[in-house]
Amino acid sequence: MIFTSSRRLSNWVSGLATALAFGLLFGAIEALYGQLDHRKKLGTLAGFVLAFALCISCFTDAKRADVFAATAAYAAVLVVYVGNNNNSSNNNN
């Protein structure tokens, strides 16, 4: 069994949370960028929103209302991105 200090563990968890937050936001943008099929785009969006909600509820001690509010804000950011991405791609055709 390996023991480590609580400070080291806290730093590791903070780094993991930062990487996860970055990955969920920019991973979703990258995954949604080139998709033209609306059903695949909606499925991808739903998958990332679900992953975000699970991460918030499992890795924090946030209340249910806080998880809902954070998930709604995350989904709103992705929906705005998808809406703007569709408009710019339609103007180029």
5/77 Cα distance (integer angstroms): 37
Query: In whole angstroms, what is the distance from residue 69 CA to residue 28 CA?
Result: 19
Model confidence, pTM: 0.77
CA distance 72 to 49: 9
Can you give the pLDDT at residue 86?
Answer: 61
| pLDDT (tens digit per residue) in 19-62 | 998 999 999 999 988 888 889 999 999 999 999 999 999 888 99
* 73-80 contacts, C-beta under 8 A, 24 or more apart: 74/24, 74/25, 74/49, 75/45, 75/49, 77/25, 78/28, 78/29, 78/32, 78/45, 78/48, 78/49, 79/45
